[in-house]
Amino acid sequence: MTHVRKYMKAMAVNIIAFPVLGLAVPASAAELTAANMLQQMNEQDQYHYIAGVVAGLGTARFVRDGNDVGSACIDKWFYDTAGTRETIAKAFARFGDKSPAAILYALSAKECGK
């Protein structure tokens, strides 16, 4: 499956799943920390949330750069690089007071540049 298809699949799942499932997340996005996410979401919901953030990071990178080099790197980092999910889990545990999106941005920027 190409990176674009993976991206589109992740976006479709997130767009459909989150409103339908009514996930138990804090009322304010400012309250959603990595620690809260790990405590309040099961593993599948965590994956879909993280995939949605990664898709957003890739889209923002594509819009900013005007090409798909950076966004493809972000997709490859998340979907194809061995150990990425373990790296994310360790970062969430270490920086539990930070937002999941900020942690994912920092990790993807380290791998693919800003």
Amino acid at 61: R
Angle (nearest 5°) at CA 66 between 15 and 77: 60
Model confidence pLDDT, tens digit, residues 63-108: 998 888 999 999 999 999 999 999 999 999 999 999 999 999 999 9
pLDDT score, position 31:
81
pLDDT of the residue at 32:
87
**97's tokens:** 């007071």
Q: What share of the chain is helix, strand, coil (3-state, %, to 5)?
A: 75, 0, 25
pLDDT at position 63 is 93
More confidently predicted of 19 and 109:
109
Is this structure's pTM higher than 0.75? no
φ, ψ of residue 72 to 5 degrees: the values are -65, -35
| Burial label, 36 (beta-carbon count in 10 A; 0-12, 13-18, 19+) | middle
pLDDT given at position 8: 54
pLDDT tens digits, 20-44: 444 454 445 558 899 999 999 999 9
The CA-CA-CA angle for residues 49, 35, 57, to 5°, reads 35
Confidence tier at 19 by pLDDT (50, 70, 90): very low
- How much is the pLDDT for 53? 95
The CA-to-CA distance between both ends of the chain, in Å, stands at 26
